[in-house]
Amino acid sequence: MSNAMYNKIWHQTQEALNSLLDKESETMTESQRNQGFIFQMLATFYIKYVQIFRNLENVYDQIVHPQKRLLIRKILDGVMGRILELKNEMVELELTEFHYFDDILQDLKLAPQQLDIPIPKYFLKEKLEVIKGREKILAQILADTGLDMAEKKYSVKSIPLEEAVKLIQIAERARQGRLRAMFMKQIFLQEYRAKQAKFLSEKVADLEAAALQIQKVWRGFHQHKKTEKLRQEEMIFLGMNPPPLFNEVSATIIQAEKVTSLRNEVQMKHEEKYREALVTIKDDLKLIEGPDIKENLQDQIRHWFIECRNLTGTFPDYPHVEEGGSAIIFSNKTPQQVTEDILASQEEEEKNKKNKKKAKKPKKPKEDKEKKSTREKSKEEDEGWKMSPSVFLPTMEEGNNIYKDMWRNRDESWNFPQDHDPELIKQEKRKELESEIRIQVDELMRQELKNLKLAVNREKEQPVKAGKKKGGKEKGKTGKKRKKDTDLTADRTIESLYKELVEEGLLIRALNVNLSDYIGEYSYLGTTLRRVSIEPMPSLLDVRQLIALYGILPLGSATVHENAPLVKSLLLAGPSGVGKKMLVHAICTETGANLFDLSAANIAGKYPGKDGLQMMLHMVSKVARQLQPSVVWIGDTEKTFYKKVPSAERMMEPKRLKKQLPKLLRLLKPDDRILIVGTTQRPFDAELQSFCKVYQKIILVPRPDYASRFVLWKQIIQRNGGIITNALNISCLAKVTDGFTQGHIVQVVKGVLTDRRIHRQNYKPLVAAEFVAALTRMSPVYQEEEESFKDWYAKTPMGKKRALALTGGTTEKGKGEKKE
């Protein structure tokens, strides 16, 4: 697509955002009581913001104009933050992490795939060099210590000499047996051909019968092929089968990828030119317009001195540097407005003096009763639900207003290559230059005012007060500094700490896995089931969406992390093989985050004692902060919160981190892009109260349903080199494998699709029976195990609230909690 096309998409998206902001400003003041209506409203806003987010992310990635990109980035971060705020509102309203929008999507004529949360490409693009440098350092440390080789080496067991000789003898005898069998087969075939030749020579050949036989076979074969071709064409026409070249990458896609890479190069060049222009244009303005600006400011301030003197009889007090200097008085004001402000301030002072005298009279007790009644009425009115105030709406409105003023109707016919606009830079830099010159002018005019006061009024300033204020502030600051925690590794560099953590195995290399590799399908009956009071199990793509919202978006954007509802910790609970570890690695891959492994098994025997544990956590938190974003992963986290430690694991001290984790969470601030992620397949073994205190968000990762299994089988077979034909019944495989997880499916496919089997596919297509045979040796996740996860989740704080809300007797309590 061309630049003009992306500009058009941006303008359309901005119009959609403008109308959505208008609707939001209307609903902010309204109070509602109907919970169903409130959810419909929030869900509609959420879906529309997701569509805007998808468009803006695409535009920001591809548009090359540097000044437009700055504005789009500001709005993009605002939209991301608003999506998280609306998600938080829906969670508090419905008391569940999973929401279903089937009916709303149908009304808006959108497909479920359009609800996918895109991961902005700038998360990795803008710090690509940093990530590559860090990966090189990590690879070097692993290579030096030999840890990298230890991972790659296969375990080779030594066997006695006698057994080795026996194995060689068996292999040699088998080889000789195969050769003898082939030799005997050749002899048999020679004898058979001789017999056949003798038999045919004796029989009189009938040429006509032979020709008829050949015709019959050929015509049958030809008609069979023709019928098969017609059937395939019919299935393609009906949409039951894909077209022949459906899975192949077309030439247009390859060309589009080339254009995208070229566009990225143009982006980089334009960014560099823009940065250079910021410096050069400012320097030019300083030389040409600087003296005039200085003179105008001095004249303006002198005029203010004289006006104040004429109106009040005294010279004014000059504003302090901390207050902003003369900028407070003259910020976008005409001389007439300045004089009006002086007169208004005088009138206010007189009124305040009169009001102080009246305020001394005591109030009657009747007024108190009236106040109480009005308060009660106001409380009754406030019982209705209201939208929580948003941090990101002002940012989006500001960005939208800049777009309207600057870009909506701007003529860019002269700027075909979409390079920076020098006039816009001049406007920005004039303001910067004026503020810099104003500081110098303020110093000169303060001295001038002092001289005027001495000459005309003979008044002396008292600089002692200013000194006292400064001294007071400094004392306060020194007091705060003492409260800060002592740095246990003040004498060490971040590089040395990083190296030590890698050598100890606490900082590990994240696997290169994208979130899109977590395959699954949507739940299409979620809303229908909830209407019948049946709580559906979440689908795999619902889980993927939560990981994007709670994990990837806040870690990727500092603005979103600082202002959006803060999620410090996340728990992924589910049976073995459902992809919990893969999701942890995906968070790191998508955001370029460091991965720290504080699993009970990994920290066993490392940094012993209380002091050692404190040092370990200090090092982890310090490196994680300095090299943020970071993910602290605690695998098998139920071991850290065991109700009773098994005797076999007592030596490992699995509960070392139990008391330290809440402290670590308290130290995390909105500025720290650090996420603690726990994974568990046996959450019922943990002490529930302390477990739920540490993990702010708990996500149940279910076993795949039929739709997800169908997609999984198809995708995994194709990714491992398999060819799907009509002989392979994927639907049958998906039905038979109910209860089996993604891990089971991957294991089976890799076991069946060996190199030899992949090469033989053209002669012998894959069939379902091959995969079913391998599945019989595995144990699935039974319904009882899934129910035990559901029962455990029902005991968590969110699960309890949800259960109480469904009974309908405790909705008022939920409202009270929200307000608190």
pLDDT of 13-36, one tens digit each?
999 999 999 988 888 777 777 888
Nearest to 429 by CA among 597, 289, 250, 567: 289
pLDDT-derived band at 1 (thresholds 50, 70, 90) equals low
pLDDT-derived band at 331 (thresholds 50, 70, 90) equals low
AA letter at 320:
H
Helix, strand and coil in the chain, % to nearest 5: 70, 5, 30
What is the arithmetic mean of pLDDT over 299-309?
Answer: 80
- Tokens for 358, please give them: 């009246």
Give the pairing type, strands 507-508 and 594-597.
antiparallel
Secondary structure (3-state) at 402: helix
- Label residue 279 exposed, middle or buried (CB < 10 Å: 0-12, 13-18, 19+): exposed
d(CA 619, CA 497) in angstroms, rounded, equals: 7
Task: Count CA atoms closer than 13 A to 704's CA, side-chain side.
Answer: 28
What pLDDT, on the 0 to 100 scale, is given for residue 345? 61
pLDDT beyond 50 at 721: yes
* Chain position carrying tokens 């019968």: 209
Is cis: bond before 629, omega within 30 of 0? yes
pLDDT-derived band at 364 (thresholds 50, 70, 90) equals very low
pLDDT-derived band at 130 (thresholds 50, 70, 90) equals confident
d(CA 11, CA 71) in angstroms, rounded, equals: 13
Cα angle, residue 213 at apex, residues 216 and 199 outer, rounded to 5°: 155
What pLDDT, on the 0 to 100 scale, is given for residue 375? 52
d(CA 365, CA 369) in angstroms, rounded, equals: 7
Which positions ≥6 away from 714 have C-beta within 8 Å? 724, 730
Secondary structure (3-state) at 91: helix
pLDDT beyond 50 at 517: yes
More confident call, 465 vs 757: 757
What pLDDT, on the 0 to 100 scale, is given for residue 152? 47
Q: How many CB atoms lie within 10 A of CB 567?
A: 18
pLDDT-derived band at 357 (thresholds 50, 70, 90) equals low
Share of the chain above pLDDT 70, in %: 85
d(CA 600, CA 583) in angstroms, rounded, equals: 20
What pLDDT, on the 0 to 100 scale, is given for residue 470? 41
pLDDT beyond 70 at 383: no
pLDDT beyond 50 at 464: no
What is the arithmetic mean of pLDDT over 550-558?
Answer: 91
- Tokens for 601, please give them: 């098994």
pLDDT-derived band at 343 (thresholds 50, 70, 90) equals low
What is the arithmetic mean of pLDDT over 2-8?
Answer: 82
What pLDDT, on the 0 to 100 scale, is given for residue 585? 94
Nearest to 742 by CA among 539, 591, 599, 548: 539
What pLDDT, on the 0 to 100 scale, is given for residue 344? 63
